[in-house]
Amino acid sequence: MVVDEIRAILQQRGDKQRAALAQRFFKTGPGEYAEGDLFLGISAPELRTLAKEYSDLTLEEAEQLLHSAIHEERSLALLVLARLYAKGTEAAKKSIYRLYLDNTQWVNNWDLVDCSAPNIAGAYLRHRSKRPLYQLARSPLLWERRISIIATLHFIRHNEFAETLKIAEMLLGDQEDLIHKAAGWMLREVGKRHLPSEEEFLRRHYRVMPRTMLRYAIERFPPAKRRRYLDGKV
């Protein structure tokens, strides 16, 4: 089976030292956000190369890989799905999108969300109802909330900012630092394309924004301007 072949290759290319570093970097310890996630120790460039080599996987095979306890298998599955989506028919894109939303419990680390949400959920919903993103933004599952805001990167790339700003507003009270970082990052991306849109949002919310979200959002501002936001003197 192709899936068995892929798993064998990943096992061969694993690096125990790199895996140990990844376990710490991705917070896999008891009580941490990715508790229990398992790593083989394979670099992102290696995974992207393998995704190209196995870009003819069926959806069933990709889903098999996605249902793995091993992080790199899930990552490879999502990279393949994103490639299949980009070149797929409308029917194929719909199937990939549905598979993605049906399996969000396996898209369970920030890098997995970030490599897939814009290219699958965002791409599919750009010209459709955004209701699924708002449902995800209200989810008790951290990763679904991150999907909701990171998916809007696809819209930002097309100079469409409304959904990013609405979802960022919904997430202002979120308790998770990974959501603060994601929302701040997306606000910064809005600002890179249309600074007035970002600043209008900031003027309304900067006093109540989580500090991490604000710091990420204003990262590219000139130092004096950044300081005024952080000191509450805008």
State the pLDDT at residue 12. 97
Over residues 107-125, the pLDDT tens digits come to: 999 999 999 999 999 999 9
Write out pLDDT tens, residues 10-55: 999 999 999 999 999 999 999 999 999 999 999 999 999 999 999 9
Predicted pLDDT at 231:
93
Distance CA 148, CA 137 (A): 5
CA distance 97 to 207: 37
The pTM score is: 0.96
Nearest to 214 by CA among 193, 191, 194: 191
| Beta-bridge partner residues of 70 | 38
Q: Is the pLDDT of residue 1 over 90?
A: no
The mean pLDDT value for 47-70 works out to 97
Centre a 10 Å sphere on the Cβ of residue 130 and count the other Cβ atoms it contains. 18
Instruction: State residue 60's pLDDT score.
Output: 97
Confidence of residue 225 (pLDDT cuts 50, 70, 90): very high
Q: How confident is the model at residue 229 (pLDDT cuts 50, 70, 90)?
A: very high
- What is the pLDDT at residue 64? 97
**Two structure tokens written together for 28:** 């896999």
Give the tens place of pLDDT for each residue, 161-201.
Answer: 999 999 999 999 999 999 999 999 999 999 999 999 999 99
CA distance 220 to 202: 14
Reported as a single tens digit per residue, the pLDDT across 118-160 is 999 999 999 999 999 999 999 999 999 999 999 999 999 999 9
